[in-house]
A and B are shown apart, each in its own frame.
Chain A
């Protein structure tokens, strides 16, 4: 990923290639560093996952970006506008859900959106109806929010983002509270929004969902971004895992560990999982098969496991824990 510095004035607005850009962004709560010198670059027009375990500082970073709380150090820009200096211009085309979406419970969904639309540009009022329709809440738009389920409030939160016709959507755990069908709908909507040319930043700990939805990710842990880039690029650096079903897994394990392949083996109920270092050639798979057969072990199945974002994430974070 190319790194370029954002120009400090608003002339770059709308032309910057980064939807979000931060340099050394830091936020502290007393002694606790919630966001630790984060350098983040989110390209325009993609779905970007911001991943991390609970308490990693995902929501805090989003709150700092949106001006909900101030940063202690660092610089940041949204859509090319430096914030907080040009916060009003930047946020004019940003929609966001932060934490659990909450609204005035005594108002209807439509009234809540109208209230928010009245704080935006004049045209936002005309987007209330289409936004509700888009998130599938038209039929309940005139019910009080107090009667909404968690999933419906989540959808209303997305509708609240859409009334500003945003170029950048920042969604904090948008899948929370959604049933499987709702998650599927949300996933499709995010992809549609990206197809329209918008940028979607998705904060989540649901790695599978992020892998299905996002083009690029950043991994955050203890306030720091430890990896960022396109998912395919990141996973290409992951370990190679081979699943083996054979007649004698214990002997196969001993046999493989005594070779120079550098394989780490792990006994599983249905066989053996062999983990090879990142960058290992796929020819090694054939070598494993040859070794096992020559060792007199009957081979029933030999399969390269698809590396998932989840396994890669766990691998990366476990390395960090080991280092710690």
Chain B
């Protein structure tokens, strides 16, 4: 041990920590930037945890997409494109949603219990820093890690699903260009009148308007199938209905245009790749889920002081309890079920994402609700989420402030 001259001056006035340098708000509950920065470093240097989190959040979707890209590249007739709307919804709602929550909860539980487990908590308390500030430091620090991590995984999924999307949709057995507007679909239908008339579904209501009867007349009398030189000629109408002369090409084209217009709402639900709007909403929704996972994990980890138990409880909540409470309707406990945060989050899912059986109708979407989920209004869902965030934060902070170090 080398004894070196002490450069620090021990002065009585300085003992109060009030003289010289920036003011020292040690008793303040507001964490300083330096505290947050060093906490980020402490978490980031947990290599095992970081690698595991990256593998789950980024690695799993990346490997899945890379395999699909390779398969499609080597055998395009056997394996479809790697991306596309369906792959996007599967990865977002099936992988990133669940694993993002678990990873965030793991990070939160680690942040909440690591100082205790490592014996650093008492060192931190002895600095005189407010215990509340010590707790609050963990929030921005953890979010600074988990939010970008989820964002990276999500960006990879978006990029592949958009840039490696299929070039055409299969609608009623007909290959149709994707993402067309109503006018675009009608225009395309005029060029493929026979296919549209013979294959597209008819969305004619009970009213017998002039145009509807004209379309029916055309559909019932247009020859479908291979026609001359091919297979037997048949009409789409019921047997015995083709007593009128075949319609002209102009009539068929007009009928096709109108049928395409009527089918547009169905067609519009199919996408080659996710829209920008859906991707933005999905991204925000995934981040919300990650923030919830982190905050609840942090509070729980701090409350019980153990990472492993906290993580196991969070996994049970997400993988076991949430699906059960979201679907089952337990008499007399419906309101309790509605208090499950996973159900509330599912209700805020963007329309078009099959979360827990289908998209929600919340602020991220407007998909019209999901009949599989226990009904819950958006307001209630938001209140449940806020209550979970605040409740677990208060519990965690209270335990940190009262715990023996």
- Nearest residue in A to B47 (C-beta to C-beta)? A106
Q: A106-B47, A134-B4, A165-B14 are in contact. Are A118 and B404 (CB under 8 A)?
A: no
Q: Are B35 and A135 in contact (CB under 8 A)?
A: no
A15 at the interface (CB under 8 A from B): yes
A133 to B114, CA, bound (A): 28
- Nearest residue in B to A196 (C-beta to C-beta)? B6
Q: Are A68 and B123 in contact (CB under 8 A)?
A: no
B203 at the interface (CB under 8 A from A): no
Segment 1-54 of B: residues with Cβ below 8 Å from A: 1-4, 6-10, 12-17, 20-22, 24, 26-27, 32, 34-35, 37-39, 41-42, 45-47
Set of chain B residues within 8 Å of A130, measured between Cβ atoms: 4, 6-8
**Chain A CB within 10 A, most for which of B8, B42, B46:** B8
B130 at the interface (CB under 8 A from A): yes
Segment 158-193 of A: residues with Cβ below 8 Å from B: 160, 162, 164-165, 167, 182, 185-186, 188-189, 192
A69 to B402, CA, bound (A): 8
A35 at the interface (CB under 8 A from B): no
A89 to B16, CA, bound (A): 6
Q: Are A13 and B1 in contact (CB under 8 A)?
A: no
B119 at the interface (CB under 8 A from A): yes
B367, chain A: closest CB distance, angstroms: 44
Q: A88-B26, A96-B126, A118-B32 are in contact. Are A186 and B41 (CB under 8 A)?
A: no
Q: Are A123 and B126 in contact (CB under 8 A)?
A: no
Q: A90-B128, A134-B4, A167-B10 are in contact. Are A68 and B404 (CB under 8 A)?
A: yes
Interface magnitude class on chain A:
35 or more
- Nearest residue in B to A185 (C-beta to C-beta)? B1
Q: Are A119 and B17 in contact (CB under 8 A)?
A: no
Among candidates A99, A103, A123, A135, residue contacting B120 with C-beta atoms closer than 8 Å:
A103
Among candidates A115, A121, A160, A192, residue contacting B38 with C-beta atoms closer than 8 Å:
A115
Among candidates A15, A68, A135, residue contacting B126 with C-beta atoms closer than 8 Å:
A68
Q: Are B118 and A92 in contact (CB under 8 A)?
A: no
A67-105 to B contact mask, C-beta < 8 Å, 1/0: 111000000000100000001111111111011111111
B124 at the interface (CB under 8 A from A): yes
B122 at the interface (CB under 8 A from A): yes
Set of chain B residues within 8 Å of A125, measured between Cβ atoms: 34
Set of chain B residues within 8 Å of A209, measured between Cβ atoms: none
Among candidates A15, A100, A119, A188, residue contacting B129 with C-beta atoms closer than 8 Å:
A119
Q: Are A93 and B126 in contact (CB under 8 A)?
A: no
Set of chain B residues within 8 Å of A103, measured between Cβ atoms: 118-120, 123
- Nearest residue in A to B39 (C-beta to C-beta)? A115
B-side residues, CB < 8 A to A, are 1-4, 6-10, 12-17, 20-22, 24, 26-27, 32, 34-35, 37-39, 41-42, 45-47, 114, 118-120, 122-130, 134, 404-405
**Complex A-B: 27 CB contacts under 8 Å:** A66-B125, A89-B27, A91-B126, A92-B15, A93-B16, A94-B126, A98-B126, A102-B118, A102-B119, A107-B41, A107-B45, A115-B38, A115-B41, A115-B42, A119-B35, A120-B128, A122-B21, A122-B24, A130-B6, A130-B8, A134-B2, A134-B3, A135-B1, A162-B8, A165-B10, A182-B1, A196-B10
- Which 9 A-B residue pairings sit nearest by Cβ, starting from the closest? A102-B119, A91-B128, A185-B1, A92-B17, A88-B27, A118-B34, A136-B1, A68-B405, A165-B8
Given contacts A118-B32, A134-B4, 17 further A-B contacts (CB under 8 A): A14-B12, A15-B12, A66-B122, A67-B126, A88-B26, A89-B27, A92-B15, A92-B26, A103-B118, A103-B120, A120-B127, A120-B128, A122-B21, A130-B8, A134-B1, A196-B6, A198-B10
